Structure 1
Amino acid sequence: MKYVIIGNGIASIGAIEGIRKVDTESPILVIGSEDAPAYGRPLISYLLAGKITPDRLSLRPLEFYEKSRVGLKLGTTVASIDTSAKSVTTDKGEVIGYENLLIATGGIPFTPPIPGADGPDVYNFTNLAHAQTLIAKAGEIKRAVVIGGGLIGLKAGESLFDRGVDVTILELSPRILSLAFDENAATLAGARLDEVGLNVRCGVSAKEIQRDKEGALKGVHLTDGDFLQCDVVVIAIGVVPNYTLAKDAGIAVDRGIQVDDHMRASADGVYAAGDVAQARDLLFGEDRVIPIWTNAYNQGFCAGKNMAGKDVPFTGSLSMNSISFYGLPTISVGTVNPPEGDKSYEIAASLDAKKKSYRKLVFHNDRLVGYVLVGDIEMAGMYTAFVKFQMAVPEEAKKQILAGAPDVLMWPDDFFKETWNPGVVEQD
């Protein structure tokens, strides 16, 4: 087999499209552990809330795989990789050779050692099977506890709440969204959740999940001594890179699978992309795992082109999050919480609590390196361009940006010459 891809998510879609930009004929095989074709994991919350139907989950129609001449082995797990023989062995005992291999195994839910977590009615919120089970049980669920106040936890809580469930979200940190946002943004988001009746408790977490003698779920003991009765528990603290397969094969790993600037791993003919890959950070130049959808696709697309013989460097991952809380839009991009006491960073923030509006801009070495917007996000695209393309921001331009009026005319002439030319079409 010319190309083998382990994993069937957004990074794999990117890799298929990257390969086919260069090589339109050679066979591609995708091996996925779930039975479903590639679907949008962030859309799981909308499915659970009843806002979309299952057919809206698919990233690409089945015709995409047919037209791209891609073979699918779904419901199949790769048990091992032999980098010397250039082959993979599945859980069904099948040995499949490869010339180029992409590991796009994503992340797996992080579950802390909470007594009582093993057993029925405790779920993660990162796969379709759990969402479908919760949908089937939704009519029976009266109370739910969600452990984790990050993006995944909040969307899980919102989805159950929209189905009429009494939900309490637990977050050990002093505020929700502690990684993606700052205190002001988190306060506005938390206030909006409180307005609609969704309970959020910060500074506390689960100490033990209580069960009866038959193992049935009764509730959750909290670290502050309180007890919450519930019918289900959702553990949504986060995900960690699923790199065990690569590590067992002798492929270099750190926080994720280590890759170079062409998404190549340490073994010949092996690449990695998506939430499992530790790739270049756009702003800092160091290698990090940044589990964001757009990064996963871009990494996969870059890996695919390189697997097919192109020489395409990866430009780097960028941290970004966008989420709406019952009509309150929020977005954060880049560095939003710089190191405390580092005077090389300049922060400009404006908060209007009555209008539920907040803007925070973070500058470093005369460049915009991050921002947070809550409420009014109209200028998000403009700010993102300044961050992504690392444009220099002279003093006059900074004044205009601080006034909330960034403009494309502020972009340097070289930017247009290097990145945008309507008269040129890329030749692949």
Structure 2
Amino acid sequence: MQHIVILGNGIAGITAARHIRKHGDDRITVISGETDHFFSRTALMYIYMGHMKYEHTKPYEDWFWVKNKIDLKKAWVTSIDFEQKSLHFDSNEPMTYDQLVIATGSVSNKFGWPGQDLKGVQGLYSMQDLELMEENTQGIKHAVILGGGLIGVEMAEMLHSRHIPVTYLIREKHFWDNMLPLEEATMIDHHLAEQGIDLRSETELEEILGDDEGRVKAVKTKSGAVIECQFVGLTVGVSPNIGLFKDSPLHTDRGILVDEFLQTNIPNVYAIGDCAQLKRPLPHRRAIEAVWYAGRMMGETVAQTITGTRTSYQPGVWFNSAKFFDIEYQNYGVVPPECPADCTAFYWEAGDKKKCIKVIFDTSTLAVKGVNIFGIRNRHEVWDDWISKGKSIRYVIENLPKANFDPEFSTHWEGDIQRKFNAAFPDLEVSVGKKSFLEKILS
């Protein structure tokens, strides 16, 4: 019986542990210094907002681990001896392994700003970050958030839920416009303003100012503006958490380099999840993908290989989802900020500026390449099938109702979308569904 050690108890590491157990009786140990048990990292914001308690974020009961013979060790690893196949902890005792899976996740980015280590300045990734944010925001009057990404907008919603005024600084012209096309980015700008968020575009941080007690009191922008605050959220993205391996034989770049089987350069050592960097990423996929489902799929894949069925990582069509306060977002396939030269874009937006859809398709073949959907829930499996099979834009627009899974009695906008498409592309005219009663009222 071999000993399989998994370093990290996030979605990637825990999925690997569960699937290794499904395929065999090897000894499994999961190590993490963050928490005793696996929890849903995406639910951290809801703990702060009072919608959930920590115990509600644990997908499995505490007895699950004993029943499935998965040993849990709460500890921080200080070093790894890859030749001796041993890990060493902050308490100095060693643990040996036969196979090692590294799933150490991400860390919040810092870019060396003066004052970034003051009290009240932090990122948001770990449970410890959440506990620190709880402490840092007690009784404050104003907060500043830096960085126009998904963690930033989540932090803005968290603070907003406690009626803490927020000034949100982004370098770009529009929110997340390094990922979103102009129409969608502008729509989110409007929505953030409606929520009372003071979004300041094209604004860069110069320094964070502290008081005599070492706590943040203001930020200064490169234009010279000084914004008083008692909390600064640094949400300028995350990077692979690989500090432990920088001076080791393990090959690293931005992340831990792995092949298509998630194997590192060291035999019997694998890396999965946010910390892994594919040497040869698949077309339309990134070398590092710090998203929940990619970690889950990597966990399933590496479990197959470790238990005897050598399996390459095949994530399929890219997808992502998020939430901007009240607006839910789904993305399938490739929708870059600028439409590629060989493609055409179709865009529809509802009158309330809280719903839209953008579809990118090949100008010559008409095959759909990707879609952004805001405020309308669509089925993942339907879009995955359409994009992977190269369905034409005409087929997709005509069959849009098949993808919808909004709750019963919701307004269905497919008819309005189809009419807009026919007006924009008369040569590709599609059949149009009947307009619903609510659609007639709201359109």
Question: Does the alignment reach a TM-score above 0.5?
Answer: yes
Residue 92 of structure 2 aligns with an amino acid whose one-letter code is: G
Partner of 2:411: none
Provide the rounded CA distance (Å) in 1 between the counterparts of 2:53 and 2:168.
26
| Equivalent pair of 1:400/1:406 in contact (CA under 8 Å) | no
- CA-CA distance at 1:136 after TM superposition: 4.2
| Equivalent pair of 2:120/2:216 in contact (CA under 8 Å) | yes
Partner of 1:34: 34
- Deviation readout 1:345-392 (Å, 9 max, x if unpaired): 3322223354532211123566433210112233555223333xx212
Residue 299 of structure 1 aligns with an amino acid whose one-letter code is: M
Partner of 2:143: 144
1:95 aligns to 2:94 (yes or no): yes
Provide the rounded CA distance (Å) in 1 between the counterparts of 2:279 and 2:67.
32
- CA-CA distance at 1:402 after TM superposition: 3.2
Segments of 5+ residues of structure 1 without an aligned counterpart are 409-428
Partner of 1:343: 341
Structure 1 residues 345 and 134, CA gap change in structure 2 (3 angstroms)? same
Partner of 1:244: 243
Partner of 1:414: none
Which residue of 393, 398, 405 maps to 2:400?
Answer: 405
How many residues align? The count is: 400
| Equivalent pair of 2:334/2:369 in contact (CA under 8 Å) | yes
Provide the rounded CA distance (Å) in 2 between the counterparts of 1:339 and 1:208.
32
Partner of 1:14: 15
Partner of 1:295: 294
SS in 1 for 2:400: coil
Partner of 1:416: none
SS in 1 for 2:278: strand
- CA-CA distance at 1:281 after TM superposition: 8.1
Residue 150 of structure 2 aligns with an amino acid whose one-letter code is: L
- CA-CA distance at 1:283 after TM superposition: 5.8
Partner of 2:421: none
Single out whichever of 376-385 and 250-259 deviates more from structure 2.
376-385
Structure 1 residues 120 and 126, CA gap change in structure 2 (3 angstroms)? same
Provide the rounded CA distance (Å) in 2 between the counterparts of 1:218 and 1:286.
41
1:63 aligns to 2:58 (yes or no): no
1:370 aligns to 2:370 (yes or no): yes
Provide the rounded CA distance (Å) in 2 between the counterparts of 1:280 and 1:296.
17
Provide the rounded CA distance (Å) in 2 between the counterparts of 1:322 and 1:70.
31
Partner of 1:49: 49
| Equivalent pair of 2:102/2:269 in contact (CA under 8 Å) | yes
- Deviation readout 1:184-231 (Å, 9 max, x if unpaired): 112112211211212211111321111123323211111222111111
Structure 1 residues 279 and 317, CA gap change in structure 2 (3 angstroms)? farther
Partner of 1:258: 257
Structure 1 residues 202 and 127, CA gap change in structure 2 (3 angstroms)? same
Provide the rounded CA distance (Å) in 1 between the counterparts of 2:393 and 2:71.
51
Single out whichever of 100-109 and 55-64 deviates more from structure 2.
55-64
| Equivalent pair of 1:142/1:230 in contact (CA under 8 Å) | yes
SS in 1 for 2:224: coil
- CA-CA distance at 1:299 after TM superposition: 0.2
Percent identity of equivalent pairs: 28
What does 1:132-281 align with in structure 2 at a 5 Å threshold? 132-279=131-278
SS in 1 for 2:274: coil
Provide the rounded CA distance (Å) in 1 between the counterparts of 2:378 and 2:316.
23
Structure 1 residues 181 and 263, CA gap change in structure 2 (3 angstroms)? same
Provide the rounded CA distance (Å) in 1 between the counterparts of 2:288 and 2:117.
28
- Deviation readout 1:208-263 (Å, 9 max, x if unpaired): 11112332321111122211111111111111011233443212222321222221
| Equivalent pair of 2:284/2:318 in contact (CA under 8 Å) | no
| Equivalent pair of 1:4/1:29 in contact (CA under 8 Å) | yes
Provide the rounded CA distance (Å) in 1 between the counterparts of 2:242 and 2:199.
33
Structure 1 residues 369 and 67, CA gap change in structure 2 (3 angstroms)? farther
SS in 1 for 2:87: strand
Structure 1 residues 320 and 169, CA gap change in structure 2 (3 angstroms)? farther
| Equivalent pair of 1:144/1:166 in contact (CA under 8 Å) | yes
SS in 2 for 1:159: helix
SS in 1 for 2:78: strand
- CA-CA distance at 1:100 after TM superposition: 0.8
- CA-CA distance at 1:57 after TM superposition: 2.0
What does 1:276-355 align with in structure 2 at a 5 Å threshold? 276-279=275-278, 284=283, 288-316=287-315, 319-337=318-336, 342-355=340-353
Partner of 1:79: 78
SS in 1 for 2:344: strand
Give the TM-score normalised by structure 1: 0.87
Partner of 1:385: 385
Give the TM-score normalised by structure 2: 0.84
SS in 2 for 1:361: strand
1:5 aligns to 2:3 (yes or no): no
- CA-CA distance at 1:317 after TM superposition: 6.2
Higher RCO structure, 1 or 2 (CA under 8 Å, sep 6+): 1
Question: What is the root-mean-square deviation in Å for CA atoms of aligned residues?
Answer: 2.3
- CA-CA distance at 1:70 after TM superposition: 1.3
Provide the rounded CA distance (Å) in 2 between the counterparts of 1:59 and 1:183.
38
| Equivalent pair of 1:280/1:316 in contact (CA under 8 Å) | no
- CA-CA distance at 1:133 after TM superposition: 3.0
Provide the rounded CA distance (Å) in 1 between the counterparts of 2:390 and 2:345.
16
